[in-house]
């Protein structure tokens, strides 16, 4: 089978289902087909090939792609064609993947359902009345619907793992610093990570391999060795010590979700691992901490969208200040405005110490909870989300309920450690996710445990 066949297959499937699923915002069809031909020619003439040679991939629309429209699902970037590639996109070129298109998301990655996209809804391929999760809802739905075998998402508080869980696919948030953020449109810079969404753990390890590593363009990328993630996929978990936080199986977590986690633990026990209940006592502060910090960082990061440098500009400005204010008022959606206001307030003088600084301190305590547990255990296991995918429209009126969806994924971003969601049974025909959390830069052990279920 040729690369052109693979790429054809991808567009054929998109033509069949994407009108319903709505995963893609922009297709890269002409370029992708031309590049596929090039790769097919290379098959004849070369004897060395990229790690993911010819593999179709979809890219979340907050990762910049040169010449290929990148909107962050925001009206404010409706006409933005980047003049450079994100580092991960360059790395994908090295790996010789074929970019099929850009994927829908919550505007600027703020949301848990894709209902905050400025353009359209993405639907859950398992049940079109339900959300695919978010903010990388397009990335998870496209893989689940068979439109692409690989996609990239970004995860600030759960945006890879939660949609992966809702759509029954595999999604990993790498350790903070494992993958370059250069060219990822910043939401909350101290939390954001790009990561792979795939159908299998093995595919996931391949894609992480391709995008990992230190980058001189991102000072927060870490200069640590990139191990061979594939060699971790042994299926051997004998002697492994698993911690199960009691806070992750407590109030608000659906019975079927709890049961599926307990079943998974039984499987691992059967393979020679052991587990014990532990406590992450500061978990209850994670949600408040996250929304203070992420909104503060977002309010600073999003100040660059001023209607002058790029993106949308209002037609109705009378003077410069008016131009800024009108462009932002017309270009940003409601959730983005809510976060900017929250963040601006938290950072304002007189409140900074009470909110932002306090939240930083609590973040340190949350991170310490994880450090303490990881002194004795190899991985932490729990559900990815408290419930399976909810109905479109069910939570839009109530931001706090929507925010609570990420209660089990957010602490992982605050601590900076890696976490994966893998499919783990179903409830009423909807997929459930198992979350496996590892030590800093120990994605290998996370993959090893995840692979034991395949
Ligand atoms: N749902 C969370 C939020 O709205 C997380 C988003 C993300 O990880 N990008 O902030």
- Residue-wise pLDDT for 53-63, tens only, equals 999 999 999 99
Whether residue 78 has pLDDT greater than 90: yes
Ligand 1 centroid to 409 CA: how many Å? Answer: 10
Bridging pattern class, strands 274-278 and 193-198: unpaired
Ligand 1, residue 188: give the atom nearest the CA: 9
- Residue-wise pLDDT for 160-188, tens only, equals 999 999 999 999 999 999 999 999 999 99
Whether residue 310 has pLDDT greater than 90: no
Measured from the CB, is residue 139 less than 6 Å from ligand 1? no
Q: What are phi and psi of 42, to 5 degrees?
A: -60, -30
For the segment 331-340, the average pLDDT, to the nearest whole number, is 98
Contact criterion met (CB below 8 Å) for 123 and 79: no
Name residues whose C-beta falls within 8 Å of residue 117's C-beta, 6 or more positions apart in sequence: 73, 104, 105, 106, 107
- Mutate which of 406, 408, 409, 411 for ligand 1 pocket (most atoms within 8 A of beta carbon): 406
- Residue-wise pLDDT for 31-57, tens only, equals 999 999 999 999 999 999 999 999 999
Whether residue 67 has pLDDT greater than 90: yes
Beta bridge partners of 197: 151, 171
- Residue-wise pLDDT for 433-454, tens only, equals 999 999 999 999 999 999 999 8
Sheet of 430-437, strands arranged across: 24-27, 98-103, 56-60, 150-155, 193-198, 170-173, 419-427, 430-437, 379-383, 241-245, 274-278
Ligand 1 centroid to 135 CA: how many Å? Answer: 6
pLDDT attached to residue 401: 82
Q: How confident is the model at residue 252 (pLDDT cuts 50, 70, 90)?
A: confident
Nearest residue (by CA) to ligand 1, atom 5, is: 157
Measured from the CB, is residue 156 less than 6 Å from ligand 1? yes
Mean pLDDT score of the chain: 97
Ligand 1 centroid to 421 CA: how many Å? Answer: 15
């Amino acid at each position: 089978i040729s690369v052109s066949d693979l790429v054809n297959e991808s567009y054929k499937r998109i033509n069949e289902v994407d009108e319903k699923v709505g995963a893609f915002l922009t297709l890269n069809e002409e370029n992708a087909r031309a590049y596929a031909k090039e790769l097919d020619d290379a098959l004849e003439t070369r004897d060395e090939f990229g790690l993911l040679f010819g593999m179709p991939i979809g890219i979340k629309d907050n990762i910049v792609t040169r010449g290929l429209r990148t909107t962050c699902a925001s009206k404010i970037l409706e006409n933005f064609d980047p003049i450079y590639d994100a580092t991960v996109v360059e790395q994908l070129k090295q790996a010789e993947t074929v970019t099929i298109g850009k994927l829908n998301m919550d505007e600027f990655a703020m949301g848990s359902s894709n209902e905050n996209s400025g353009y359209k809804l993405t639907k859950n391929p398992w049940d079109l009345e339900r959300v695919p999760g978010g903010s990388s809802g397009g990335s998870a739905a496209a893989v689940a619907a068979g439109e692409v075998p690989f996609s990239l998402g970004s995860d600030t508080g759960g945006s890879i793992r939660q949609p992966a869980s809702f759509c029954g696919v595999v999604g990993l948030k790498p350790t903070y610093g494992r993958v370059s953020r250069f060219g990822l449109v910043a939401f909350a810079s101290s939390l954001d990570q790009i990561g792979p969404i795939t159908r299998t753990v093995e595919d996931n390890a391949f894609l992480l391999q391709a995008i990992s590593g230190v980058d001189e363009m991102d000072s927060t990328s870490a200069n640590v060795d990139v191990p061979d993630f594939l060699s971790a996929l042994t299926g051997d978990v004998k002697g492994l010590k698993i911690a199960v936080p009691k806070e992750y199986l407590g109030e608000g977590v659906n019975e079927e979700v709890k049961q599926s986690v307990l079943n998974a633990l039984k499987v691992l026990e059967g393979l020679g691992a052991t587990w014990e209940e532990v406590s992450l006592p500061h978990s209850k502060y994670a949600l408040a901490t996250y929304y203070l910090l992420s909104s503060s960082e977002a309010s600073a990061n999003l100040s660059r969208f001023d209607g002058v440098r790029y993106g949308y500009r209002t037609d109705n400005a009378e003077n410069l200040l008016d131009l800024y204010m009108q462009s932002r008022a017309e270009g940003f959606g409601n959730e983005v405005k809510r976060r900017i206001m929250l963040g601006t307030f938290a950072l304002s003088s007189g409140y900074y110490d009470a909110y932002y600084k306090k939240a930083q301190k609590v973040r340190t305590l949350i991170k310490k909870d994880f450090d303490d547990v990881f002194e004795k255990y190899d991985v932490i296991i729990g559900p990815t989300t408290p419930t399976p995918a909810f109905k479109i429209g069910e939570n839009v009126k109530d931001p706090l309920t929507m925010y609570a969806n990420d209660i089990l994924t957010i602490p992982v971003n605050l601590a900076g450690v890696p976490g994966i969601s893998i499919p783990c049974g179903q409830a009423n025909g909807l997929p459930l996710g198992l979350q496996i959390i590892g030590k800093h830069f120990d994605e290998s052990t996370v993959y090893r445990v995840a692979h034991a279920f395949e």
